[in-house]
Copies of this chain bind each other. A is one copy, B any other.
Amino acid sequence: MIVNRQFRLKRRPHGRVERADFDFLESPVPEPAEGQAVARNLYLSLDPTNRIWMTDMEQYMPPVALGEVMRGGGIGRIVASRHPGYKEGDLVSGLLGWQDYCLIGAPGELLPPAVIPDGLPIPLPTLMGACGMTGLTAYFGLTVIGEPKPGETVVVSAAAGAVGSVVGQVAKILGARVVGIAGGRQKCELLVKEFGFDAAVDYKAPDFLAQLAAATPKGVDVNFENVGGTIMEAVVARMNLYSRMPLCGMISTYNEDTAPRYDLRPFLMKRIRLQGFIITDFKDRFIEGSMQLAQWHMEGRLKSRETVVEGLDRAPEALNMLFDGTNIGKLVVRI
């Protein structure tokens, strides 16, 4: 019997995710009924939002129920199909879950996975990163909400992460001055040397505020916000009149049981536009965005970095890398 290993949510984590928050169970690989298909999962995407799905706070999708397979994005290959939309061998991308095999078309499915091109000169982890959902998050959040103009200053936090590294590179392509915020000297060097940022600021350095001020002599026109907390407050203090703040995430606070709170007076006084978004808001434009990102990538203008963790069983511990900042670029698990 071929076994399907699954992480099922056992209890809602407090603070960091622990292996004991899940049951890691084995069951037979499901047989597709009429209208269903089965994918062998190849890669699992680990994203900050996974941590939100584990909570029961008000959120943009239903929380993962206790006992349910942990929700997660991934890439897989169809191994059996009785579904008209998928044929054996198709490469698919979507919410495949923290498991070896995904039953597609099952009751309660939130979004059907999408068939993606097989044979592009783009590695699968990159198709999940700079050229996938992560890249689209950066691309639409920056261009549609941030609207950077040439010469403006764009600041992005978690800049060495999957979204941040794309935000910075796209902002450069659009002619902005780009400042990345990341933790530690190594990441800051990577931002400037590998990803072409104009400046990088180390939030772990004692002179973080002075570094930020020096890197943004004309203030901040777009703050692509990924982390929240005191880093965000430092950037908001430097935001200009009529500046924009795409609110993509607040990862620094997702392990907290109570959310931090913020002063909104600067948003009034400086007429800042704050707009929260989730990548599915832009689903009607995914084709456009994907093709643009792939083109820039193939032209060498958009670099991608991935951190690949081996083995499904390591998914819970690997997720904590996002919060510890020990990954660079897109974090994926090879199943």
Contact = CB atoms under 8 A, between A and B. Distances in A.
Interface of A: 57-60, 228, 242, 247-250, 259-278, 281
A259 B265 contact: yes
Contacts of A60: 269-271
B267 A271 contact: no
A260 to B, nearest CB: 8
A228 B264 contact: yes
Contacts of A267: 247, 274, 276
24 contacts: A57-B265, A57-B269, A58-B266, A58-B269, A60-B269, A60-B270, A242-B281, A247-B268, A249-B268, A250-B265, A250-B268, A259-B263, A259-B265, A260-B261, A260-B263, A261-B261, A261-B264, A262-B263, A264-B276, A268-B278, A270-B276, A271-B277, A272-B275, A273-B276
A163 B261 CA distance: 28
A271 B265 contact: no
B264 A262 contact: yes
A250 B275 contact: no
A271 B264 contact: no
B259 A261 contact: no
A55 to B, nearest CB: 11
Contacts of A270: 60, 276
A271 B246 CA distance: 10
A242 B265 CA distance: 22
A244 to B, nearest CB: 10
Given A265-B57, A265-B250, A273 B273 contact: yes
Given A260-B261, A271-B276, 12 more contacts: A57-B265, A59-B269, A228-B264, A242-B281, A250-B265, A261-B263, A261-B264, A262-B263, A262-B264, A268-B277, A271-B277, A273-B276
A269 B276 contact: yes
Contacts of A249: 268
Contacts of A277: 268, 271
Residue among A57, A249, A264, A272 facing the most chain B CB atoms (10 A cut-off): A264
Nearest to A264: B262
Contacts of A276: 264, 267-273
B271 A281 contact: yes
